[in-house]
Homo-oligomer: A and B are copies of this chain.
Amino acid sequence: MIATDRPLAIIAGGGSVPTRVATAAMEAGRPLFVVGIEGEADPGIEGFPHAWVGWGSIGRLERLLAAHGTKDLVLVGNIRLRPDFKRLKPDFGTIKALPEIASILIGGDNSVLTGVIRFMETRGYTIVGAHEIATDLVAELGPVAGRSPREAEMEDARIALEAARTIGELDAGQAAVSSGKHVIALEAAEGTDAMLERVASLKQQGRLRRDGPVGVLAKCAKPQQDLRVDMPTIGPRTVEGVVKAGLAGIAIEARHVMIVDRDEVVKLARDAGIFIVALDLARR
């Protein structure tokens, strides 16, 4: 992690990653404050100095951050980007910021996060990536889990990763599957899990080879993705999807893909006999 003792605030959405980041910050001796988003964050954040805020309580959020002298923020965890506005109880800080918030939301999904970052930065905050605090959320170049890939599997890994990069450049998706040196699935709005279900179903229909596990899922970041707040991820569900799809392994872009619940991912990959490797991706 970054060598600093500036106070850090973690704005925590759902899932296990926020507590993972909090633990890493604590271990590094960094002053820490966790702000759990109500209805999103895991109760595990209560093991750290924390407070809960509701969607739309920007006034309260800013007062909390000011009270802790915190200018460095990690925004991490699953959030529903378009909260149910009927349940919103905006506080005064939110109402003051409403025109800006409205323009963020109107911009559509892709620009929401960019909008949030810009909104916080204009208020003097610095956005820090979760993987800058908990560095093992991403993988360095090389083997990550499970057995070693064979040469033909490495070729599928490279073909799938190249395809994933290409569709990332189209801002369409982050994942692709190659099998037998041929791209057989490309991810767009459906997401990685649904794409893997499709591969499983094509194999069941006999429309793809299925003599033993073959083929590789690759995942990488889009060039326009802000890795501080929006990283491609793999997790236990990804490994399960890959196994059900009869694939041989997973290739992720080194340092650009978050591994959620890494211990479980490693165990699942080993037990299933698949491989996970991190590869470098030359950016065009």
A-to-B contact residues, CB < 8 Å: 108, 110, 162-163, 166-167, 169-173, 176-177, 180, 182-190, 194, 198, 202, 207-208
Contacts and interface: CB of A to CB of B under 8 A. Distances in A.
Pairs of residues from A and B, 4 with the lowest C-beta to C-beta distance, nearest first: A172-B183, A186-B186, A184-B189, A185-B188
Nearest to A184: B189
23 contacts: A108-B180, A108-B182, A110-B182, A163-B167, A163-B170, A163-B172, A166-B166, A166-B167, A166-B169, A166-B170, A167-B167, A171-B182, A171-B183, A172-B176, A172-B182, A173-B186, A177-B188, A182-B189, A183-B188, A184-B188, A184-B189, A185-B188, A186-B186
B207 A189 contact: yes
A43 B195 CA distance: 40
Contacts of A110: 182
Nearest to A178: B172
A146 to B, nearest CB: 25
A173 B198 CA distance: 15
A200 to B, nearest CB: 12
Contacts of A170: 162-163, 166, 183
Given A166-B167, A184-B188, 15 more contacts: A108-B180, A110-B182, A162-B170, A163-B167, A163-B170, A166-B170, A171-B182, A172-B182, A173-B183, A173-B186, A183-B188, A185-B190, A186-B186, A186-B187, A186-B188
Nearest to A109: B182
Contacts of A207: 189
A162 to B, nearest CB: 8
Nearest to A110: B182
Contacts of A167: 163, 166-167, 183, 186
Contact of A208 (B171, B173, B189): B189
A32 to B, nearest CB: 35
Contacts of A108: 180, 182
Contacts of A162: 170
Nearest to A208: B189
Contact of A190 (B171, B176, B180, B202): B202
A206 to B, nearest CB: 11
A189 B172 contact: no
A235 to B, nearest CB: 20
Given A170-B163, A170-B166, A185 B189 contact: yes
Residue among A176, A180, A189, A198 with the highest chain B CB neighbour number at 10 A: A189
A177 B184 CA distance: 17
A166 B165 CA distance: 11
